[in-house]
Amino acid sequence: MSAFAMGGMGDISLRIIRTIILNNPIGLFIRAILAKWSLVVVLPSVLVAYWVLMGLQSAGVLDKAFATISRGLLETKAVAQNCTPKILDFKALWACLEHPGVYVEHPQESALHQRLRALERPEEMQDYLAAHPRDPYSEL
């Protein structure tokens, strides 16, 4: 029976092999290369990505992208709100998709937005939770 088939002996053998590999000069050389690789490749990559994003932000590209995405999501909400009831009539649905109308925010959605914005500022969320205590078991 082999050492690996005996259960615990396999773990000990792997630890010994790993220790031998890491303690010999070639293992140290490989660890040094990997450590330097992280300094030579990863760190400059993160810095380049940071400076590219800062440049895009200062040029206004990120603001335009955010505005485009926001406009698209608003149109999507208008389509979902106004065109979903017309889904069984294809002609009415197609006309609605061409001109979806204006999106009207529901009062519950505005309350949800306020709660989500409060999550960005923990002190306001604590004030909200203190003003609105809720027992999760009260509805059972």
Whether 1 has a pLDDT exceeding 50, the answer reads no
Residues of the chain with pLDDT > 70, as a percent, come to 86
Closest CA to 80 of 66, 111, 101, 62: 101
Question: How many residues comprise the chain?
Answer: 140
Q: pLDDT value at position 35?
A: 76
Closest CA to 86 of 99, 72, 70, 71: 99
Pairwise pLDDT comparison (1 vs 31), residue with the higher score: 31
Whether 65 has a pLDDT exceeding 60, the answer reads yes
Each domain of the chain, given as residue ranges in start order, spans 9-59
What is the arithmetic mean of pLDDT over 28-57?
85
